[in-house]
Amino acid sequence: MPETETSKGDSQLFSPPSGVRGMTKLDRTAFQKTVTVPVLKVRKAVVNGLMRVLKRAALRRPGIKRVIEDPEDEESRLVMLDPYKMRTHESFDKEELSALKQLNVSPQLSEYNLELTYENFKLEEILKAVLPEGQDVTSGFSRVGHIAHLNLRDHQLPFKHLIGQVTIDKNPGITSAVNKINNIDSTYRNFQMEVLSGEENMMTKVRENNFAYEFDFSKVYWNPRLSTEHSRIIELLNPEDVLFDVFAGVGPFAIPAAKKNCTVFANDLNPESHKWLLHNCKLNKVEQKVKVFNMDGKDFLQGPVREELMQQLGVSKEAKHSVHIVMNLPAKAIEFLSAFRSLLDGPPCSSEHLPVVHCYSFSKDVTPAEDVRHRAEAVLGISLEACSSVHFVRNVAPNKEMVCITFQIPAATLYESQTLHPGEQPLEKQR
């Protein structure tokens, strides 16, 4: 039997029926309920004009029409009002009353029994009604194409399939809901995931900063929260610059940089990322500007990067372009900085042509910027205090920040048996 509730003293009027509490398998029919709401009877002809004035007072529920036919009078319509705001005719404000008067509409309210179904409840309302009382029902997710990527807490797990299905039902365009089943600790940074509801197919297509990317989300890394960071780095590049992307994923730095007419060398160790990186270069028509590699980051730096730098920095002493090296593997990238020590030989290039590194890291320290700088300095064996900046990227978890340290690699680090340039300080003296 569907429940009937009125607004008087009931703050839960638009909550689903109490019988759904504890439901683990979604039964949409159990959400039927009748509520009594105030309505205003108006002549058909004035409805449009009136609705503009009644924005505040009108009822807003998903899938509910605010104006319905009057079962007793075909020349009239009933305007449904918000029962929390509108209890009697005295609830209309001055402006509303004057509009009613002008249109010759009586402010007297009557009652209407409104049938609510599953479609008329919001995601949060459904989860709040189903999950144990008082528990957090966070229903946030990252959207990756057609996939909702949830990160459920332990107490939500008994309801995981229902949460997945409701997330799909309430978000147009989402046809699959997955849950992270461990923290990303795999080499390739892709999440281990479980499909909670909907399509098993993890092949998806996303757009970021106007570029299209296709990939299998179960096999590669993709994080929609990095789009601002991707565009921040791209803004720093000028046409003709060279970009080495050491941990390129499926291309969110490499492809926009190539479109900006930079020459790009993009690498990823994961064969699946490598495959989709190649595919996305073609998809975005930049395959001529991007050389793609499938190597360990250290081998990439000591092989193709070294070779290219020797050529670029040796030959083109007058070159106007800059060289940038992006290292987005926050859990480990700092360790890879050791590859820059004595990477090049021969006479050093002028200091303005030294490559600029953008290296990402997590930090749980109270002063993340200093923590990351000190760790980078320890690996490079030189002070970066005067020549680096640290950008805060995002808060990953309570007390865990993702930051990006940017610096020009000191010649004393990059070149074999190179003495310090003016302004460069050995680490020991600095501390």
Ligand X SMILES: C[S@@+](CC[C@H](N)C(=O)[O-])C[C@H]1O[C@@H](n2cnc3c(N)ncnc32)[C@H](O)[C@@H]1O
Give me the residues that bind ligand X (CB under 6 A), please: 187-189, 221, 223, 226, 247-249, 252-253, 267-270, 273, 296-297, 328-329
Closest CB 195 distance from ligand X, rounded Å: 22
Smaller CB separation from ligand X, 203 or 420:
203
Smaller CB separation from ligand X, 21 or 225:
225
Helices (H), 103-198: 123-130, 160-170
With H, G, I as helix, E, B as strand and everything else as coil, classify residue 252: coil
Closest CB 358 distance from ligand X, rounded Å: 11
**What single DSSP character describes residue 25?**
S
Contact 336, 298 (CB under 8 A): yes
Show the beta-strand stretches assigned E in 25-131: 33-43, 67-69, 76-80, 109-116
Closest CB 416 distance from ligand X, rounded Å: 24
Closest CB 409 distance from ligand X, rounded Å: 19
For β-strands 388-397 and 356-363, DSSP reports them as unpaired
Contact 272, 219 (CB under 8 A): yes
In this structure, the number of other CB atoms found within 10 A of the CB of residue 76 comes to 14
Closest CB 391 distance from ligand X, rounded Å: 14
Residue 268 assigned ligand-binding role: yes
Residue 9 assigned ligand-binding role: no
User: Radius of gyration over alpha carbons of the chain, in Å?
Assistant: 30
Burial of 404 (0-12, 13-18, 19+ CB in 10 A): buried
Smaller CB separation from ligand X, 232 or 374:
232
Smaller CB separation from ligand X, 121 or 276:
276
Residue 230 assigned ligand-binding role: yes
Smaller CB separation from ligand X, 208 or 385:
208
Closest CB 293 distance from ligand X, rounded Å: 9
Residue 371 assigned ligand-binding role: no
Smaller CB separation from ligand X, 116 or 269:
269
Which residue has the closest beta carbon to ligand X?
249
Closest CB 71 distance from ligand X, rounded Å: 57
**How large is the angle between the packed helices 123-130 and 160-170, nearest 10 degrees?**
160
DSSP of 84-100:
TT-SSGGGS-HHHHHHH
- Indicate the Cα dihedral angle 402, 236, 358, 386, nearest 10°: -100
Smaller CB separation from ligand X, 187 or 395:
187
Smaller CB separation from ligand X, 66 or 324:
324
Q: For residue 228, give both structure tokens.
A: 């601002």
Smaller CB separation from ligand X, 127 or 339:
339
- Indicate the Cα dihedral angle 371, 373, 379, 383, nearest 10°: -130
Closest CB 226 distance from ligand X, rounded Å: 5
What whole-number distance in Å separates Cα of residue 23 and Cα of residue 21?
6
What whole-number distance in Å separates Cα of residue 204 and Cα of residue 98?
54
Closest CB 315 distance from ligand X, rounded Å: 28
Which among 297, 284, 293, 283 has a CA at the least distance from the CA of 326?
A: 297
Q: Which residues contact 299 (CB under 8 A, 6 or more apart)?
A: none
In this structure, the number of other CB atoms found within 10 A of the CB of residue 335 comes to 14
Residue 161 assigned ligand-binding role: no
Contact 346, 310 (CB under 8 A): yes
**Which residues are part of a known binding site for S-adenosyl-L-methionine?**
230, 268-269, 296-297, 328
**Which residues are part of a known binding site?**
230, 268-269, 296-297, 328
